[in-house]
Amino acid sequence: MILKHGAPDVMFDRGVKNNQCLRCGNGDKDLFYTYYSSYENTDITYCLHCIALGRSDSLNPLYGCETLRKSENIDYRLEFELNDIQKQASARLLDAIKNKHNLMLYAVTGAGKTEITFEGIKYARQNGLNVAFISPRIDVVKEVYLRLADAFKGVRIDLMYSGVKSVFSHMFTVCTVHQLFNCINHYDVIIIDEVDAFPLPEEPLLMETIKRAAADDASIILMTATPTSEMKRLAGKNNIVTIARRYHGYDLAVPNIVWHNADKYIRKNKIPPKLMELVDDIINEHRKVLIFFPDIAMMKSLAAVIKAKYSRLESVYSGDKERYKKVQMMRDGELDILLTTTILERGVTFVNLDVIVIDAHRFRSASLIQICGRVGRKPKDPTGNIWLMTTFNTSGITKTIAAIRQFNKGRDAL
Amino acid sequence: MRCLNCHNVINEEPTLISLFTKNEPLCFTCRTALNFKYPGARCGRCHQLVTEQTDMCRDCRVLYALYPDINKMYTVTDYNEEMKLLMHRYKFVRDYALSEVLALLCTFNFKQYDYVVPVPVSEARLKERTYNQTSAVLEALDVKYMDMLGTKKVKRQSELSRHERLNSTNPFYLLENVSSMNLSGKSVLITDDIYTTGITIHQAANVIKVLNFQNIDVLTFSKAQHI
Ligand SMILES: [Zn+2]
Ligand SMILES: [Zn+2]
Ligand SMILES: [Zn+2]
């Protein structure tokens, strides 16, 4: 069913009952709030977990409509042909949807994962299965939507993320995970891109939301470059497809470690000398660079001093209103250097790009693998350089380098 | 414990920061983002940002000429993006828990007043929201308040132009149980959620002055800065 404020039918007579939210499935007592309403003359308990989509409480019913299924004769066009590895993965994905089981697509960054799903989506929609393509990240949702809309010309696709709602039928939807709170037992195919991205691993309840939105015999397709044991369990042992090669066939760049205490210099409002050397070399080679920081404060302190030396430089973070504009400037070649937090670890592609990570010891390996995946994404610049600046080695750094080496040997690192 | 604004788990291990803060359902990040004032010169009366520090800005002079009843005005935070999101959730999504968050930001000495009076919300609004957003914060703060005002307003403030608002007849009236009181020599603090144009609070003060208060002050939780 789909819950919708203003729909005619009552789906549940109360939103919250017996310490359970009937909309999002939340049962964690810390995520409910109770107050006495003198106006209603009663205690009201409501769910904090799904409050962003409107209040589900112990007083008011939840309205909605039952799930509809309708086949649609859709097709897609690709600008290029899938390579053999992609074709195999696409066949496995189609097979999982036909046989109604889960599947994990364990793929290097830049493997062309989105295109691999097209055949499965076409089959699902032609057979009346409801499809959701979801991601924890808004940037990824937007990017995927554009690529699907471009390939499936003329097909109506729902798009939902915080503040945006363009819905036709809930039969073919691209959205963030949080938007699934209103869907129960509805989607027959759920494709999750970037399963490892914040906040999915941190919020186990969100995984419950996905399972709740899935129909009883749904296929859940998990796509990731850094699988966890929970994801492997959800997919099932024999349902893991590995793509160790990028679609252009080149190796992934292996990061170089630079032993350097950048923080010490930044604290003194100085540019870390080894950073300056690297950046100068990159500029001389006419390449661009993304410099990643573990937190906004550190990035801002360096930005304040480094701006005087390099004019074609900007910095971005999640709350930055100019964020999309600055990323576009980088794409258009108006900038050489972009300072960023982990916000740009996924979803962005620039040509002739190198990457530097400041205080790499403060990053998780899931982040580092994505960051390393920013370089060499285009066939005309298939390699690129990565420098991890750190003062000591961590399991995150070791794991990252090991995973990349394994991929390059053509083996998976599971 | 969870932060009532962002719902993240608040780290309960003692850190340098937590040693100095009480056990409260508001994380450090949210507190910093919400407890916010823009830098710069301000109007000494309404706290609007101005180019040159002044005792009374232009808006204040217009309002003061019409309604010269308020002595001092106080505001807790500036209405930034973060506060805007909070107020939207608090008032329109009915996330009542945020009354606690606003209360945690509000370090103000209410004890210096004989009476604290919240600005009322209309019956229609109360039916939708099920609470008066200002009273709920006062309750969270354990401040004894008294309802003295009623409102007949039905149109949303945002639906009126500034001109309409200035010239609109005063929507407030004294509640029956207080209308015959004489409170000369007493002080009152009128409290409201957001100070936008200031008209609402000046109109409330203009109605309440009939009770002969010696001093009328005003507190709003957030001040919108029109820059
Ligand atoms: Zn809920
Ligand atoms: Zn918080
Ligand atoms: Zn003023």
B93 closest CB neighbour out of A31, A54, A319:
A54
Average pLDDT score over chain A: 91
Instruction: Using an 8 Å CB-CB cutoff, list chain A residues near B95.
Output: 33, 46, 48, 51, 55
Give CA–CA dist B227/B225, Å, rounded: 6
Q: Is A35 on the interface with B (CB under 8 A)?
A: yes
Contact A51 B126 (CB under 8 A): no
Q: Supply the angle between the helices A84-98 and A118-126 in degrees, to the nearest 10.
A: 30
Choose among A134, A224, A220, A218: nearest CA to A177: A134
Give CA–CA dist A119/A152, Å, rounded: 11
Instruction: Using an 8 Å CB-CB cutoff, list chain B residues near A34.
Output: none
CA distances from B93 to A5, A228, B84, B106, B188 (A): 12, 36, 13, 22, 31
**What's the pLDDT score for residue B163?**
65
Distance B62 CA to ligand 3 centre (A): 10
> Got the DSSP string for A183-218?
BSS-EEEEEEESTTSTTTTT-HHHHHHHHHHEEEEE
User: pLDDT (tens digit, 9 = 90+) per residue, A383-402?
Assistant: 899 999 999 999 999 999 99
Q: Average the pLDDT over A222-248 and give the result.
A: 87
Choose among B215, B22, B35, B30: nearest CA to B115: B215
CA distances from A290 to A194, A278, A348, A350 (A): 21, 12, 11, 9
Is residue A382 predicted with pLDDT exceeding 80? yes
- Residue A292: exposed, middle, or buried by beta-carbon count in 10 A (0-12, 13-18, 19+)? buried
Chain B residues 8-47 within an 8 A CB cutoff of chain A:
none
pTM above 0.95, yes or no: no
**What's the pLDDT score for residue B20?**
59
User: pLDDT (tens digit, 9 = 90+) per residue, A44-99?
Assistant: 999 999 998 889 999 999 999 999 999 999 999 998 888 888 999 999 999 999 99
Q: Is A49 on the interface with B (CB under 8 A)?
A: yes
Quick check: helix, strand or coil at residue A241? strand
**What's the pLDDT score for residue A414?**
56
**What's the pLDDT score for residue B21?**
58
Q: Is A205 on the interface with B (CB under 8 A)?
A: no
A33 closest CB neighbour out of B93, B97, B131:
B97
Closest ligand (CA of A21) = 1
Residue B6 binned pLDDT confidence (cut-offs 50, 70, 90): very high
